[in-house]
Amino acid sequence: MILQNITTGLFLTITSLVFAQNSKQMSKLIQNEFQLADKQYKKLMKSIPQDKMPQSYNASIDKVTTKDITWWCSGFYPGSLWMIYEQTGDPEIRKEAEKRLQLIEPNKTFTRDHDLGFMMFTSFGNAYRITKNPIYKDIILTSAESLSTRFRPGMQAILSWDKMADFKGPVIIDNMMNLEMLNWAAQNGGNKKLEEIAIAHANTTMKNHFRSDYSSYHVIDYNVNTGEVFGKKTFQGYSDSSAWARGQGWALYGYTMMYRFTKNKAYLDQARHIAKFILNNPNLPEDKIPFWDFNDPKIPEVPRDASAAAIIASALLELGQYVKADERKNYINNARQMIVSLSGDHYQAKAGTNGGFLLMHSTGGLPLHSEIDVPLIYADYYFLEALKRYKDWYLQ
């Protein structure tokens, strides 16, 4: 018994020392990352036209690629700026963030697809969280109402895209991310129907989007009037039956977020199952940065997706808030490994390079021959969010 007590005490002491060492190292890493982000985004902002938003960088011609404000990624740049400002207090970063919010404000009435949460909550959501400016809150509430117009009662889901050649009523797993704005709006002065829409969409997605191993299809094609499922397909993954890596990240993040707002244990259990699929997948590399699709038969000779890792890391850190100690430790350790990998020489750009973006080696749409092995603005955003979450939740 004495020996057991000594052994247990020694184990706890070693564990405490390791945790303290990890905390010290992570604290320094996070500080360095935000300092680097401050420098990089000052470089990036000099390359962006006044009426466009940054998307990626073409190294072969040394040019930042940009998009119009209605592109689904338009919120990630100002959202990243706000997180950088929050950590550094740099007034130049804040000025750029405010200017870019003015540019995308007209999106608050955009209703042509489901991406309004990506566009307006990553941007104005962070701005309001940090400044409490009531104008930003009003814009979020208007944006949520606009997004709600895409809800189709017959299929109990938000229509992602309008009818296309290959799809009659497409709903993509990415759409789970846009529910955050609806939930937040409903709980912060908006119409309560917004939360009802978010719950209905999450339930429909949980019913139809997942396989028995809790991997997710990318696109479910519905009859918008009856909810009948016409097909389970992909648009950006390797095949209809494959597990597109970023899609698994959207699913994990989405159901973790839904539990945050509703405390419905079914959503927590769904998130835990998805996390298990990702973390126990035999095709997840040792550095925890996924290949672009878990089922590409050419693995390992295929591109990685740093954006998927950033999304998954951020989601795991939140999921760790809602589970018991052993499970939390597993999620934190995996998220930390992803963060450390992303901040290493292979995935992170050197200061002054990469067009000003932080991360390299993301994959946007490989089957579409689009954005393969490049920096992507949303990879940076979720990486910065993961850093902030680690600091706020696990370094206190």
Q: Is the pLDDT of residue 348 over 80?
A: yes
Mean pLDDT on 81-89: 98
- And the tokens for 196? 């009802």
pLDDT at 163: 74
Separation of alpha carbons 201 and 206, rounded Å: 9
* pTM metric for this prediction: 0.94
174 carries an active-site annotation: yes
Sorting pLDDT into bands at 50, 70 and 90, what band is 164? Answer: confident
Mean pLDDT of 159-178: 91
For 291-338, what is each residue's pLDDT tens digit? 999 999 999 999 999 999 999 999 999 999 999 999 999 999 999 999
Residue 350 is encoded by which pair of tokens? 């050197």
CA distance 256 to 273: 11
Quick one: average pLDDT of 144-160? Answer: 98
Q: Is the pLDDT of residue 118 over 60?
A: yes
- Residue among 90, 113, 115, 293 flagged as catalytic: 115
The rounded distance, in Å, linking the Cα atoms of 80 and 45 is 12
Task: Return the CATH number of the domain spanning residue range 18-47+275-396.
Answer: 1.50.10.10
Q: Which of 90, 174, 221, 293 is catalytic?
A: 174
- Structure confidence at residue 11 as a pLDDT band (50, 70, 90): very low
Rounded average pLDDT over 145-149: 98
More confident residue, 318 or 17: 318
Q: Tell me the mean pLDDT in the region 216-242.
A: 97
What is the Cα–Cα distance from 387 to 31, expressed in whole angstroms? Answer: 9
Instruction: Output the DSSP codes for 200-240.
Output: HHHHHHHHHSB-TTS-B-SEEEE-TTT--EEEEE-SSSSST
Q: How far apart are CA 96 and CA 76, in angstroms?
A: 13
